[in-house]
């Protein structure tokens, strides 16, 4: 693939940092669901039926997806810039979000 060199280093950093933040967010939400399903299954320990089967399936699917995201994050970690550039990318992302929210609120 030809690289036209159109992206600045800051833009590249922003992309990978945003990607990793999304992965972390997904992983966090999955962990919340996993923990919730585990508690629900404990409450359903003596129960049989469709509801317990559905929660069991969700628990299993969530655990599998968590493993997938862990693998994606591990493989992507080598692409992350140094901490200083991560911090700068996060600041740019926050500024863009403020501008986006301000634009929506203002008109």
Q: What is the pTM of this model?
A: 0.83
Domain count, the chain: 1
Contacts of 17 (CB under 8 A, 6+ apart): 80, 81, 86, 89, 90, 93
Q: Is 59 within a domain? A: yes
Q: Is 1 within a domain? A: no
Residue-level pLDDT at 102: 82
For 102, the domain range is 13-106
pLDDT averaged over the chain?
94
Q: Is 32 within a domain? A: yes
The Cα 64–Cα 60 span in angstroms is 6
Residue 104 has pLDDT above 60, yes or no: yes
Q: Is 8 within a domain? A: no
Residue-level pLDDT at 106: 62
CA angle 80, 32, 101 (to 5 degrees): 60
Residues 30-65: pLDDT tens digits?
999 999 999 999 998 888 899 999 999 999 999 999
């Amino acid at each position: 693939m030809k690289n036209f060199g159109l992206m600045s280093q800051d833009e590249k950093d922003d992309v990978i940092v945003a990607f990793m933040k999304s992965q972390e967010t997904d992983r966090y939400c999955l962990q919340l669901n996993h923990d919730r399903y585990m508690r629900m299954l404990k409450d359903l320990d003596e129960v049989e039926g469709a509801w317990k089967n559905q929660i069991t399936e969700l628990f299993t699917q969530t655990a599998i997806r968590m493993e997938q995201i862990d693998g994606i994050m591990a493989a992507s970690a080598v692409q992350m810039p140094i901490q200083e550039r991560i911090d700068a990318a996060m600041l740019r992302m926050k500024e863009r979000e403020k501008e986006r929210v301000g634009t929506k609120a203002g008109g």
